[in-house]
Amino acid sequence: HIGMHMGYRFVVEKCTCERRGKAACLTVRLANRGFACCGEEVQFRLLLVQGGEERVIPADCDLGRLEGGKGTTLQIPLEGEVQRSGMHLYGSLQRVRDRGTIVFANEGAGDRLLLGLFD
């Protein structure tokens, strides 16, 4: 248990999307299940993928300072035209300093985590 939680360990706990007419907002609850903060600037990126096309929406947050055992909630507004049927939504984390990928601790995440699908 201790070895798996050394340093930082980011997890997506919950993800919801609220639609209000043509506008929508994605709410992502993130937590650091590790014992320490990252100590570097970390950016959450929402990836919208459909038919070989990929669009990135960076979210303003301060994950690098998120202490171990703490959580935060991101609100990411989505424009009407991005809410197309069959579009996959992924989350990814990137270190700002060197653009290195930080892998989510969620099972099966890899370099990005499936958050949902518009149908």
* Residue (of 79, 61, 78, 80) closest to 115 by Cα position: 78
Could you report the per-residue pLDDT of 88-101, keeping only the tens digit for each? 999 999 999 999 99
CB 22 within 8 A of CB 79: no
CB atoms within 10 A of CB 46: 21
Could you report the per-residue pLDDT of 68-83, keeping only the tens digit for each? 999 999 999 987 656 6
Q: What is the DSSP letter of 52?
A: T
Could you report the per-residue pLDDT of 6-52, keeping only the tens digit for each? 689 999 999 999 887 777 889 999 999 998 888 899 999 999 998 88
Q: Is the pLDDT of residue 115 over 70?
A: yes
The pTM score is 0.86
Return the pLDDT at 71: 96
| CA separation for the pair 66, 78 (Å, rounded) | 25
* Residue (of 86, 23, 87) closest to 55 by Cα position: 87
Measured in whole angstroms, the distance separating CA 108 from the mean position of its chain's CA atoms is 14
Measured in whole angstroms, the distance separating CA 10 from the mean position of its chain's CA atoms is 9
